Structure 1
Amino acid sequence: MSIASKNQSIQDWITQQWVILFGKQIDQSKHKWLLGPFGEINGIGSKFIEQLAKNENLSICKSNEPKGLLKSIEQLNLPSSDLNKLSKDVIDFYENTSNYEFDLTTKWNPFFLLFGHLLKLLFSNRLQQLNIPLSSNKNSKEMNSEIVQLTDKATEKVKRIIWLRTFKQTFQVVYSGVYETCKIPNGKVCIKAIFPLPNGNATVILQPIVGENGELILKSAGRKIGDSGFYFLLKDKKGNLWTKFIKSFKDSLTVSSENNKITANQELTFYGLKVLNFRYDIKKR
């Protein structure tokens, strides 16, 4: 039986061993669409950016020019009819994300709050990753949002895009993730969000749909490896690559604009039960 690396905290080792026991060993050459950077064992948060730049021999871009989660909305390979219908405000948000700031409101299903507390106790505080507010709050929390580009030292071509989000009041890291597009096996182009974890990552693959009112709907609702959805990835002690597809966990994000005001509503469900709802009020700086 394969074993997770032992030189790490016990809770990380147990989580990784669970992925090995109930997941699937995969061939790196056949799953390039799924691959992404892994974290190291000494914390994630803002440290990850410098670690990734060093590991991949890249430079952290110092330019003050606007930076987006996407270089161009055309990366999503949407049909021309959908692209023409998509809100121009939503397009600008994805292409110039660094021009925007956020207020976050959360609403928990009380039955899943224990899971949130365990996540924070065992992982979030220590790793500085996935620090989700634990109370449903009517008053929004202001967030800092930074888009970090890692570039090739010779060509200055952008190789990695990282979205770092922290709370303004506490500077606590909420999310630190790598964003890119990928083409899943059915040929659909999706947005891939990669959240580094020790010796692995949590990857969410979101398939884009344009709604009737020009909103961009991103769904991770697949049923098997190769679909959109939520994946854990890791390397075991011998360097073998493993993944666990979490079919029961779904994510739906809708980014829309009305009267020049952009909002994003995100709903997480588990076996069809609503776990958590995020509302982001998005405004230009």
Structure 2
Amino acid sequence: IYGYGFYVWRAKFNAISAKILLIVSSSTLMVTIMFSLIYSYGNLKHVMTITIAQMVWIHGVVNGIGVALPAFVGWMIEKSVPNYKYYGKPMSKLRGNVAIGEAFLYSGNLVGSKEYNGLVDQITDFHSESFDVTKVPLSMIHFYENTAEYELQSNIKWTRWFRPFALCYEKMSKRVEQIHLGMGGN
């Protein structure tokens, strides 16, 4: 936590208001952690330093208003850009609603008469300073350029603790028509 606080003080931000809010947040967190250490020390030595009511107030109210809220607003203001180099390829402008199945493609007139064999025409189109195509295994290149030759098979077995979540996932994925794995089986 103190390392994070140090990092926030030293890091460069796009917006000064975001930096101020994040400094307030991390500094407040460091102070409240110090109070918890004082409380723990008092319990260890059987000496009343800070009461449990004070600790509840410090960790509930102060962390909520002084840590979480400024951090949330600060990161919303910052809108940080990724630290990787964008390789200049266009991103899809397609946005869906509830279901993104095969009907979505036809309803938006997104299906033409041309058929494609793979996810990409040529993997070499993606060669750049940050992506060396010669380092990609031939089997991967074949998959991306000839995806139609492959068939996905899966045998789903959810772990016991995840089954309630899997039930929710099953209902959602069936409706959205994307990667519908179901509750198990082939």
**TM-score, normalised relative to structure 1:** 0.29
More helix by proportion, 1 or 2? 2
The higher relative CO (CA closer than 8 Å, separation ≥ 6) is in: 1
